[in-house]
Every structure is written in structure tokens, then in C-alpha cells.
Amino acid sequence: MKNKILSMVLGGAVSLMAMQAMAADKVTLQLKWVTQAQFAGYYVAKDKGFYEEEGLDVEIKPGGPDIAPPQVLAGGGADVIVDWMPSALATREKGVPLVNIAQPFKTSGMMLTCLKETGVKTPEDFKGKTLGVWFFGNEYPFLSWMNHLKIPTDGGAEGVTVLKQGFNVDPLLQKQAACISTMTYNEYWQVIDAGIKPEELITFKYEDEGVATLEDGLYVLEDSLKDDAFKEKMVKFVRASMKGWKYAEENPDEAAEIVLENDATGAQTEQHQKRMMGEVAKLTAGSNGALDEADYQRTVKTLLGGGSDPVITKEPTGAFTHDITSAALK
């Protein structure tokens, strides 16, 4: 009799778990890049059960050099993506109606890292130099900055020669470029780990130069927001994701370990991820997920101020909404 009761209880528990699993709303998140601490908040939210608490079943899809998140979103391969605002606004103007629903990153981590031996001391010294630049949507902040400086990007003594940089630091190490694109939390440290000393380098942070644009926001398609069920799902997703981000800020080493556990490639190292998480925490600090309109306007102004070749040609409308974060923060 006891065994029969136990079997019924266990059977009921399994059935309940199955029903809960079936009832969970599926969400697919497409990351901008590979699994690393840049996206720790999402991995932490999944690992710690924050998504599950909201009734969500979240799939996190890593990105890579041949993956464009807006294209994945437009093609139905994801519900929500991580993208930088310059890319998102340019994509919107080209006809893919991306909408920012949350902004976990408050501060930009982008900078140019230069070898002092090349004679670069100020941005004016970029003239006549070769600079490494990432493309696939990451070139927009750089091109906008050069336009602000009135430095042509087609070479010559008064311009810069743009080297299409791979997602590595080889052009600097091999002295093919005077400066390369780096992030405070990633490539800069790859340069250091390669044996170049900090005192041999000079860095120019976009944030310090007044041309910083918003990075790592969450974007969905505009039409999706017409669906109340989808909006409610995004409210839950953003709430759980920000809980993950704040946990990661407070527990950076644990967050890095969670990222490593989710790295199917095995390419990441513990030292690098822990260091990265410490730097990323500085960028998410101060954000509760809601987009700061002043930061948005600064980004738009920077992108519009591109002279004859601006990143966007007109003031965007409908490019962000506070509806999701307002509901998530209640």
C-alpha cells in the first residue's frame, strides 16, 4: 500500500513537472558574439533559475563572426537579440524595424588601442596611420568618430587607412596597424597577454572622447510588440535577465564560472573570463535595464553627425520603448 501511495505521489510530481515544462514560455535569445562574460547576466539568469521562476524556457544562442543578430531576428531564428545601438538604428533605417526594449549596458567599453612607438599621442595623430576596425555593424561608431574629427577614411596623409580587422589583435602584434579596435573587457587584455606592456600602449576610449554610443541592448521586431502575450513574455525575460546581471555584478567570479560551464567550445579560460567579468560589471553598473533617453539622444546625435556619410540620415522614430522595462520594474 505504501509503495502504491509513493508511486502515485511520484507519478503526480513527474506529471506536474511535465505540465510546468509544457506551460513554460519559450524564448530564444541570439547573442552578438560567442559565449563569454560579455553576456554573463543571461547565463546567470538561466543557471540560477531566474528564468524558470518567471515561467520561461530560454534558449541562448551564441553568436560568431558569420552571425548577424538582426538577420537572425528578421528570419525568425530568435525572439530577442543583443545588439549595439549603432547597428540596430542603421538596420532599422534600412527597413528591419528593430526596437530597443531594454539597455543592460550603461557605459561603452569600446576603444582604440595604439602602440606608442608609432607616434600616436592624440586623435589628431591618427592622420596618415593605418587603423584596425571591426565591421559587421561594429564599424559605425568608428566611422562616426572619424567624421567628427573630419578625418577621411580613404587613406592619404590627411586621412586614415582602414584595415578590416578580424576579431583578434594580430594587426597590432604584427605591426600592420598603428591602432586597433579593442574592448576594455576583451581584446585589450589579449594585447597585454601577448607580452606588450601597458606603458607601451595608449588607449582612446570612445566614452572619454565624447563619441560613445550604446552597446549591448536587447532588441525585438516592432510587429512582435503588437502581441500582448509576447510583450508579457518580454517583461518576464527582461526582469529575470536584469536579476541575472545584478547577481553577476555582485558575484563576478561565480558568474565567470557559469559562463565557462556554458562554453561548449572550451575556448575560454578561467583567468580571462574572470577578468572580463570584472570589466563588464563596470559597464552594466548603474543600469536597471531601462534605456536612459539622454544616452539614446547622445547616441543618435553622434550617429547623425557623420558629415557626408552619416551612419543614419534622419532622427529615428519608434526605435525604443519603455513599456517592457516599466512593467518589469514594478
Do 180 and 82 sit in the same domain of this protein?
no
245 Ramachandran zone, left/alpha/beta (phi>0; psi -120 to 50)? alpha
Q: Which pLDDT band holds residue 311 (cuts at 50, 70, 90)?
A: confident
Residue entry with cell 528570419: 75
Sign of the Cα torsion 245, 222, 108, 186 reads positive
CB atoms within 10 A of CB 67: 17
Predicted model pTM: 0.88
Domain boundary among 205, 224, 250: 205
Long-range contacts of 147-156 (CB under 8 A, 24+ apart): 147/305, 147/306, 147/307, 147/309, 147/310, 148/211, 148/302, 148/305, 148/306, 149/123, 149/124, 150/307, 151/126, 151/127, 156/128
Indicate the range of 12-21, 91-100, 147-156, 265-274 predicted with least confidence: 12-21
Write down the pLDDT at residue 159: 96
- Report the CATH number that the domain containing residue 242 is assigned in CATH: 3.40.190.10
198-255 tens-digit pLDDT: 999 999 999 999 889 999 999 999 999 999 999 999 999 999 999 999 999 999 999 9
Domain boundary among 151, 185, 205: 205
Do 99 and 116 sit in the same domain of this protein?
no
Closest CA to 99 of 16, 275, 223, 274: 223
* Domain that residue 131 falls in: 110-205
Do 279 and 146 sit in the same domain of this protein?
no
Write down the pLDDT at residue 16: 47
Indicate the range of 5-14, 75-84, 289-298 predicted with least confidence: 5-14
Local structure of 322: helix, strand or coil: coil
Please report whether residue 7 resides in a domain.
no
275-306 tens-digit pLDDT: 999 999 999 999 999 999 999 999 998 888 76
Domain boundary among 205, 233, 264: 205
